[in-house]
Amino acid sequence: MNTEIFKEEIIKDIADDVSAGLIAFVNLDTGEYRSYTEMGLEEIDFYDDDIDWQREEKEYLEKMENWEHRLKITPMESFEAFQVMEDFANECIPENDPFQKVLLKELSKSRPFARFKDEVFSSPYLQDWYKFKLEKYMEYVKDEIQRELKYLNEYK
């Protein structure tokens, strides 16, 4: 299997989806992928075959089930996402900026994800956060794909 089919743009698109909470299914032979919400996957059984887009989704899922080498990429575990926020505070905010201490303090309280989001969204670092988070999710997606490809190459 060839990792070269996974161009940067595909990795970025998958990372965008997964960082938004979607589950991505990736064909490791072709690089094709499709993302769904968890609820959306559960509801597909109830789709109506008389409605075009619902019938097409059901057909696509059946096609995906026949992919020989398929990988399911889920959002990061909460401890991994927490580490991304902590890394952002430590790596992207200058030590002499009081905002770094604010972020780190918010991460030590209850509901750290909501507190971090509230602080970053009202700061001048919002675009830096989006860029950093995307880079980390792209690394995560690449690692997931490479790990699965390595496994398949060793055991085929």
Closest CA relative to residue 53, chosen from 66, 68, 40, 72 = 40
* pTM of the full structure: 0.85
List the structure tokens of 146: 């490479």
Q: What is the DSSP code (8-state) at residue 66?
A: T
Residue 3: which pLDDT band, with cuts at 50, 70 and 90? low
Give the angle 42-23-39 at the CA atoms, nearest 5°: 25
Per-residue model confidence as pLDDT tens digits over 34-67: 998 877 666 666 666 776 777 777 777 788 888 9
Indicate the domain borders of the chain: 3-75, 78-134
Q: How many other CB atoms are found less than 10 A from the CB of residue 33?
A: 20
Distance in Å from the first CA to the final CA of the chain: 10
